[in-house]
C-alpha cells in the first residue's frame, strides 16, 4: 500500500490508467505531470472531475457538494 508505483507510461498502475483515461488536464494531457493531481470519483466509481496540483481542497468542495 505504501510502495512507490508508476502513474505514467507502460508501467503505470491500473488505478492511474483508469483515472487518467478520458480525463485530460487543462492542457489536454492525460499523463500526470506532478504530484497532488486530484480526481473526484463518484459513488458509481466513475471520474467526475480532475484537478491540477495547484487546486486547493476548498475549490473542490463546490463540486463535491453537488454529488453527495
The predicted structure's pLDDT at residue 9: 94
Element (H, E) at 40: strand 38-41
CB distance 42 to 23 below 8 Å: no
Q: Between 13 and 3, whose confidence is greater?
A: 13
The predicted structure's pLDDT at residue 2: 83
Q: Where are the domains of the chain?
A: 14-66
The predicted structure's pLDDT at residue 68: 77
Q: Which of 51, 24, 25, 48 is closest to 36 using CA atoms?
A: 51
DSSP letter for 6, please: B
Over the stretch 8-53, which tens digit does the pLDDT of each residue have? 999 999 999 999 999 999 999 999 988 899 999 999 999 999 999 9
The predicted structure's pLDDT at residue 50: 96
CB distance 47 to 30 below 8 Å: no
Return the sign of the alpha-carbon dihedral for residues 32, 37, 43, 49: negative
Amino acid at each position: 500500500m505504501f510502495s512507490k508505483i508508476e502513474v505514467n507510461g507502460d508501467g503505470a498502475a491500473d488505478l492511474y490508467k483508469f483515472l487518467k483515461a478520458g480525463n485530460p488536464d487543462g492542457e489536454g494531457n492525460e499523463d500526470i505531470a506532478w504530484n497532488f493531481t486530484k480526481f473526484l470519483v463518484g459513488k458509481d466509481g466513475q471520474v467526475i472531475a480532475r484537478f491540477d496540483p495547484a487546486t486547493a481542497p476548498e475549490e473542490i468542495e463546490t463540486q463535491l457538494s453537488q454529488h453527495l
